[in-house]
Structure 1
Amino acid sequence: MSLIHLPQLRRATHDLHEKLETLPALKRLLHPSLSLQEYRDFLQCFFQLHLQLEKQIYPYFCHLTPDEFHWEHFMASPRLAKDLIHLCQPLPQPDETKIPTLTTSLPEALGCCYVLLGSGFGARQIAPLLRKHLGELVPLSFYEEGQPYLKRLWHQLEKLLSIYSSAQSEQQQTQTAAQNTFQLFHHRLSQLSQSSQYEALPQ
């Protein structure tokens, strides 16, 4: 299956993606001196973001069959929760981390979905480094358990974009929602980056 709409989204969000990757919190995640508490903080931030955004977009995906889009395989929040519980980290209470509404239509939900699904693709490089820096027993469900499903989900998302986000106005809605989702991730990870443990990143 040739990809048309996903590369368009990648181009539309390229600068925001690059900006996100320069944040100290993400750089710290790959650094040998990463502490277990810093890893907990990062998982907590990602769990809050994924959980709230998954709740936002679920109404637009719940009517789809697993052959159209496998929602259970897509959800990252259960895997993040599993890692946090393993690390004895309390999960946030409902509505504790309310985020702005980013999706009010299916094309917008697809744009948000693009960012959430895309966050799993860096796991192939990140998981081995985390295991090396934090030890063999570090929980990596978020990074590893979603990997077998990524390719199929990616192609399912492409097909949904071709059906529900092919008109120019729909494409614009999708791109704007993806950009807004990247900006939300940047805002939350910037707050994490401002924590004292990230101020002096060892070289």
Structure 2
Amino acid sequence: MSLPQRLKTETRPHHERAESAVRLMEPGLTLDGYRRHLEALYGFHLPVEARLSEVLEEELPALHLHERRKLPWLEVDLRALGHDAASLARLPRCPEPPSLGSLPEALGGCYVLEGATLGGQLILRHLRRHFEGAHAGDFVFFRAYGDDVGSKWRGFAEVLTRAAEDTSEPDFGDRVVKGAQDTFDAFERWLRRALG
């Protein structure tokens, strides 16, 4: 089984629990609820993307992590809903982000964030219909890579597979899976706390 397949299989229960904390598909979603959800996503991505940058930009330049950062997209969406630089700086941050301090764990965390861009396509369609005619912004975060979402995902899977093949660490794959599981779990805990 390839590492991407292992990740899909072995993180499934963690993924499902995290997904159950996302409330963006609820029929009663208000603009305020949407804004609060984006604020929670911002509070999670800020520390997680910082940790990923520390590890992956230097150790795995082929990933082009700077092109995969989601924070700028969240900032655009939040500004469309009334935030400015000062209010963004005051938003709560996830106090217990996953520990992604080495390459395999960081790749596991990146797997979660990159995979979310695929699910974001479904959420995007719902939000466009749900908020049609409302001043909800352009849903930049959920548009992610636009038409390139599939190729970006395949590119990530290729880099992940190559990193696993090139390593001499016997537990590399196990640690990638653990990093992904921890990221899903931290995301779920934070979202439930942030959204109440």
**Shorter-chain TM band:** 0.7 to 0.9
Alpha-carbon distance between aligned partners in 2 of 1:148 and 1:71, rounded to the nearest angstrom:
18
Q: CA contact under 8 A between 2:73 and 2:141: conserved in structure 1?
A: yes
Q: Tell me the equivalent position of 1:91.
A: 88
- Alpha-carbon offset, residue 5 of structure 1: 1.8
Q: Tell me the equivalent position of 1:198.
A: none
Structure having the larger proportion of residues in helix: 2
Note if 1:82 corresponds to 2:76: yes
Q: Tell me the equivalent position of 1:58.
A: 53
Q: Tell me the equivalent position of 2:64.
A: 70
Q: Tell me the equivalent position of 1:154.
A: 153
11, 15, 18: which one aligns with 1:17? 15
Amino acid at match of 2:12: H
Q: Which runs of 4+ in 1 moved over 6 A?
A: none
Q: Tell me the equivalent position of 2:122.
A: 125
- Alpha-carbon offset, residue 13 of structure 1: 0.3
Instruction: Count the aligned residue pairs.
Output: 187
TM-score by length of 2: 0.85
Task: Tell me which moved more, 93-102 or 11-20.
Answer: 93-102
RMSD: 2.2
- Alpha-carbon offset, residue 97 of structure 1: 4.1
**Distance change >3 Å, CA 88–CA 174, structure 1 → 2:** same
- Alpha-carbon offset, residue 129 of structure 1: 1.4
Amino acid at match of 1:16: H
The CA deviation string for residues 7-35 of structure 1, in whole angstroms up to 9 with x for no partner, is: 11011100111122223xx2x31122211
User: Equivalent residue of 2:171, what SS?
Assistant: helix
Q: Tell me the equivalent position of 2:188.
A: 186
Q: Tell me the equivalent position of 1:200.
A: none
Could you tell me the percent identity over the aligned residues?
27
